Amino acid sequence: MIDVREGGIWVYAERRGDSFLPVSLELMGKAREIADRLGVELTALTVGRDGGAGAQLRRYGPDHVLELAHPLLTTYDAKAYATAISAELRRSKPSTLLLGATRNGQDLAGRLAIRMRTGLTAHVTALELDDRQNLIGWVPGFGGGIEAGVSCPVRRPQMVTVKPGVFPLPESGTPTGDVTKVVPELSEKDVGSRRISFEPKGSTVDLTRAGVIVVGGRGTGGDFTRIERLAHLLGGEVGATRVATDAGWVERDRMIGQTGVITHPELALVFGASGAVQFTVGIEGANTVIAVNRDPAAPIFDHADLGIVGDLGPVVDSLLRALAA
């Protein structure tokens, strides 16, 4: 059995230009906590054309910041990134590597895990240590309100991708740790793809930090106008189940749950969603949940503080009137 304390904990800090994604900072906060519990060191890993940006990460409590810098790492490519990172993993032998479950994070993790011949638990919504100090990543499974805990007891590093919004964003504090820049050995043949163009999205929504979310599911029948009005009146954001985003009723960024985002609003109002576990994991962190569903046996009521059995149409109308009054 491998002792997790043999190696430190590494967090892959994903860059967007010269700043870092919130999910990477969230992971720094959680990783610091785990590292302290185990008495091991925390290293933040960043990859890009140049070093320099990594110094920002010193504000989130690392023991070390490791910057991999090379012209061939200017834009993201799984093959080149995996080559550069795996060399460092082999050298330092960390026990754990945490990545954000972003699209590029998953793209990289899937490749890197094979390069390291190790286990990977993907899009995790909770992290724990078992009594042998292996990480257990909890992943929502099939319906029935069940999640599975997955661990990797016999290989290292144990790799996990964690959904954005699962852990709180840590406060930035006094800088700690040292920064090391490494220029990895790379050549053209290590690169599999090259970005030739990028079309940024006009606007991006981030439900992970919304204070109020008004959610619509299939039960809305596709009409989100009143859901939008309600969200507007409450100064909140519109959220949706996968059924609603797959149908194109609402943009995909507003999907809540396992495939969507994990949210922590003060208040979530949920209309016409059945409460499948892949959805409810996304609102578990809400302070207060109110659900309206015409089916008294809908599982969503198990996840709500207040459940209203009834047709959502008249309830929304009355509520809009009551709030306008």
Partner 1 sequence: MRIVVCMKVVPRPEEVKVNLETKTLDRAGARSVLNSADMNALETALAFRDAHGGTVAVLSMGPPQFEPYLRVALAVGADEAILLSDRAFGGADTLATSYTLATALPKIGGADLVVCGEESSDGGTSQVPPSIAEWLDASQATYVERIVAGKDGTTVLATRALEDGKETVELVLPAVISVVVGSNEPRFIDYDRWAFAQSAKVKVLDFAALGGDPQYLGLQGSPTRVAGLREVRKPGRRRELVTVTADEAAFRIKAEIERVGRVRS
Ligand X SMILES: Cc1cc2nc3c(=O)[nH]c(=O)nc-3n(C[C@H](O)[C@H](O)[C@H](O)COP(=O)(O)OP(=O)(O)OC[C@H]3O[C@@H](n4cnc5c(N)ncnc54)[C@H](O)[C@@H]3O)c2cc1C
In the list ligand X, partner 1, none, the entry touching 293 (Cβ below 5 to 8 angstroms by class) is ligand X
Among 100, 217, 239, 265, binds ligand X (CB under 6 A): 217
Instruction: Choose between 83 and 278: whose C-beta lies nearer to ligand X.
Output: 278
Which pair of tokens denotes residue 42?
Answer: 């925390």
The dihedral sign for the CA sequence 86, 87, 93, 99: negative
Report which residue type is found at 247: A
In the list ligand X, partner 1, none, the entry touching 70 (Cβ below 5 to 8 angstroms by class) is none
Instruction: Choose between 96 and 280: whose C-beta lies nearer to partner 1.
Output: 280
Pairwise CA distance, residues 219 & 243, whole Å: 10
In the list ligand X, partner 1, none, the entry touching 90 (Cβ below 5 to 8 angstroms by class) is none
Q: Is position 242 an interface residue for ligand X (rule: CB under 6 A)?
A: yes
Minimum CB distance to partner 1, residue 10 (Å):
18
Q: Is position 255 an interface residue for ligand X (rule: CB under 6 A)?
A: yes
DSSP string for 260-314: SB----SEEEEES----HHHHTTTTT-SEEEEEES-TT-GGGGG-SEEEES-HHH
Cβ(109)–Cβ(99) under 8 Å?
yes
Instruction: Choose between 11 and 250: whose C-beta lies nearer to ligand X.
Output: 250
In the list ligand X, partner 1, none, the entry touching 257 (Cβ below 5 to 8 angstroms by class) is ligand X
Q: How far is CA 146 from CA 29, 122, 163, 263, 324, in A?
A: 27, 16, 18, 19, 40
Pairwise CA distance, residues 270 & 308, whole Å: 10
Strand 135-140 relative to strand 126-129: parallel, antiparallel, unpaired? antiparallel
Q: Reduce the DSSP state of residue 140 to 3 states and report it.
A: strand
Instruction: Choose between 186 and 256: whose C-beta lies nearer to ligand X.
Output: 256
Q: Is position 165 an interface residue for ligand X (rule: CB under 6 A)?
A: no
Bridge partner list, 138: 126, 149
Q: Is position 298 an interface residue for ligand X (rule: CB under 6 A)?
A: yes
Q: Is position 219 an interface residue for ligand X (rule: CB under 6 A)?
A: yes
Pairwise CA distance, residues 147 & 160, whole Å: 16
The angle, 0 to 180 degrees and rounded to 10, between the axes of the packed helices 225-233 and 312-324 is 30
Q: Is position 161 an interface residue for ligand X (rule: CB under 6 A)?
A: no
Q: Reduce the DSSP state of residue 32 to 3 states and report it.
A: helix
Minimum CB distance to ligand X, residue 139 (Å):
10
Tell me the window of 8-16, 122-130, 172-180, 236-244 that interacts with ligand X (CB under 6 A): 236-244
Among 43, 46, 161, 241, binds ligand X (CB under 6 A): 241
In the list ligand X, partner 1, none, the entry touching 217 (Cβ below 5 to 8 angstroms by class) is ligand X
Contacts to ligand X by CB under 6 A: 217-219, 241-244, 255-260, 272-274, 276, 278-279, 292-295, 298, 311-313
